[in-house]
Structure 1
Amino acid sequence: MVGGLFGQGKAPKRRKRRVMEAKPRPLGEAVARGMPGLAQLGWRGRTVLGLAGASVLVVGVLALAGRLDDVKADIGARLSRLARGEGFIVDSVTVSGRSVVKAGDVLAALDIERGDDILSLDLGAARERLQSLSWVQSASIERRLPDSIHVTLVERRPMALWQTDGKMHLVDQNGIAIEGEGAQLALYAKLPLIVGDDAPRYAAELIDLLAREPTIGKRVEAAIRVSKRRWNLKLDNGVEVRLPEEGMAEAFERLARLERTDRLLSRDITVVDLRQSDRLIVRLSDGAVQQMAVPPAKNT
């Protein structure tokens, strides 16, 4: 979706242009044919670029004379005045790829206003500011002469909710934390919850594993990083699954097989320990232990 960022309003007044009858210039036409972009600019664009070329020559001469610093500002001002006079000023800013990022944040990062000289804008710096926004993964900016700026955004896609220091954040597939407000967090409330200082770094591998076995994966309410080495999974029925540091995928697949064949997770247990590759350790619930401790009734 492409949308304009400037509000509705009157466009800035532009100076009336004089219509000049251009004389044939074979060399200029040949250059234009060799540079399609230049031909599209018309005589106004070639006038500006012509002055720019002359300015480069002047700068080179004055640099040899040690006067470069004295003329930089003057040349820049002349180019800016000429660009404005020929209509090379910002009249619209459009953006595509924006879904979550606020339009106001994009405009603030661009630092571009209607009426700015479009040729003197530092698009590289504006792009860096855009990419510093939490929700922006990448951005590109282009001038669409004579008077438009177009921004293309790629937003981050949240993969999980991350709980740390008592706060909630969103995390993308690269483990990058995304700042989110209450309303934004609520939109992603069904994402897996991960806990631990280094959890975002290893979350993508775990979530991919859970997706392979959705029967169990969809029951995981939280994944807790333990000692920065491995994961514990908290299921919707309160059962804790302890995964190993090495061979996590194999252990999870073993759990999935046991669930399919024996309905293991539906039994009266609180912990399933998969850290040993050659054995399965389960912890019974208190109720199950008490029931086992009651001696069978004697027949009378």
Structure 2
Amino acid sequence: MNMTAASLTGVFVLLVLAGGAWWLLRHPAFSIQAITVQGDVTRNNAVTLRANVMPQLSGNFFTIDLNRTREAFEAVPWVRGAVVHRDFPSSLRAVLVEHEPMALWGDDGSNKMVNQQSRVFEASVEDVDVERLPRLKGPDDQSAIVVQMYRHLLPIFEAMDMDIDQLELTTRGSWRVMTQSGAWLELGRGTEAEVGAQLKVFFRTLSQVTARYGRTPTALAGADLRHKDGYALRLRGVTTLEAQAQKKP
């Protein structure tokens, strides 16, 4: 009899505890009432973020899925990463990091950009100064390779007082550059070291070649560096010519 009474008492206590837990989980006091946004947020404001995220939330303080909530924040344009915390009894706190664009990505008219971590993201390009950003092109899954090549080639161009306006990795795996002055350079295939070395040879001979025609390197209109023992060169105001450039320094 004592064992039966103890068992019944234990079952009763468990039922009471379960009922109490169910009541706590469903009580309106624990429904999500507010979201606090923290972090370096410049292209979104807290009101807009809450308006985008709140409709996607389900559950209360105890039952809400923080991973899904984080994904909801990261789906908002310009948000690169989010960490979400519970703040008892009915609030969430989201710490956000925004994308920092380093270049436009893809064709003109696209809203894609690539950030400092070489990740392609989509947001309104009207929110950035597009004139200050280069344009990079290539398959989305190779954005890191394109960014790495850009960073390798940029100081080589800057040493010639040129800036890269556009760098493209074509579907055939070849590299193309357009300078800010509108000159197209076909760089061909190769690693960073190979493409960079070939470009340096071209720039070392460019001044000599342009001087023969009474021009400076600023007259460069285009060049094809894919030739084995030289390059094809186009200068503004000069008919197309073939310039043989030695591969030695």
TM-score bracket for this pair, using the shorter chain length:
0.5 to 0.7
Q: Does 1:161 align with 2:111?
A: no
2:115 paired residue number: 172
Q: Does 1:101 align with 2:51?
A: no
Mapped partners of 1:179, 1:55: distance in 2: 56
1:194 paired residue number: 136
2:182 paired residue number: 238
Mapped partners of 1:132, 1:239: distance in 2: 38
1:266 paired residue number: 217
Residue 114 of structure 2 aligns to a residue whose secondary structure is strand
Mapped partners of 1:129, 1:95: distance in 2: 16
Amino acid across the alignment from 1:79: L
Q: Size of the alignment, in residue pairs?
A: 220
Residue 242 of structure 1 aligns to a residue whose secondary structure is strand
Amino acid across the alignment from 2:159: T
Deviates more, 1:153-162 or 1:253-262: 253-262
Mapped partners of 1:111, 1:55: distance in 2: 39
Amino acid across the alignment from 1:288: V
Mapped partners of 1:217, 1:250: distance in 2: 22
Please identify the structure whose Cα radius of gyration is greater.
1
Mapped partners of 1:127, 1:55: distance in 2: 39
Mapped partners of 1:121, 1:286: distance in 2: 65
Instruction: Report deviation, 1:221.
Output: 1.5
Mapped partners of 2:12, 2:105: distance in 1: 55
1:249 paired residue number: 193
TM-score scaled by length of structure 1: 0.57
* Residues 76-95 of structure 1: pairs in structure 2 closer than 5 A: 77-80=22-25, 84=29, 90=33, 93-95=36-38
Instruction: Report deviation, 1:232.
Output: 0.9
Q: Does the aligned pair in 2 maintain the 1:224–1:233 contact within 8 Å?
A: yes
2:74 corresponds, among 124, 131, 135, to 131
Cα RMSD over matched residues? 4.0
2:124 corresponds, among 173, 178, 181, to 181
Change (3 A) 1:88 1:228: same
Instruction: Report deviation, 1:109.
Output: 4.3
Q: Does 1:122 align with 2:65?
A: yes
Q: Does 1:281 align with 2:231?
A: yes
2:165 paired residue number: 221
Change (3 A) 1:188 1:217: farther
Deviates more, 1:234-243 or 1:103-112: 103-112
Mapped partners of 1:188, 1:165: distance in 2: 11
2:147 paired residue number: 204
Instruction: Report deviation, 1:163.
Output: 3.3
Change (3 A) 1:159 1:268: closer
Q: Does the aligned pair in 1 maintain the 2:136–2:166 contact within 8 Å?
A: yes
Amino acid across the alignment from 1:142: H
Amino acid across the alignment from 1:259: F
TM-score scaled by length of structure 2: 0.67
Mapped partners of 1:229, 1:183: distance in 2: 31
Mapped partners of 2:171, 2:69: distance in 1: 41
Instruction: Report deviation, 1:207.
Output: 2.0
Q: Does 1:142 align with 2:85?
A: yes
Stretches of structure 2 that go unaligned for 5 or more consecutive residues are 1-10, 211-215, 242-249
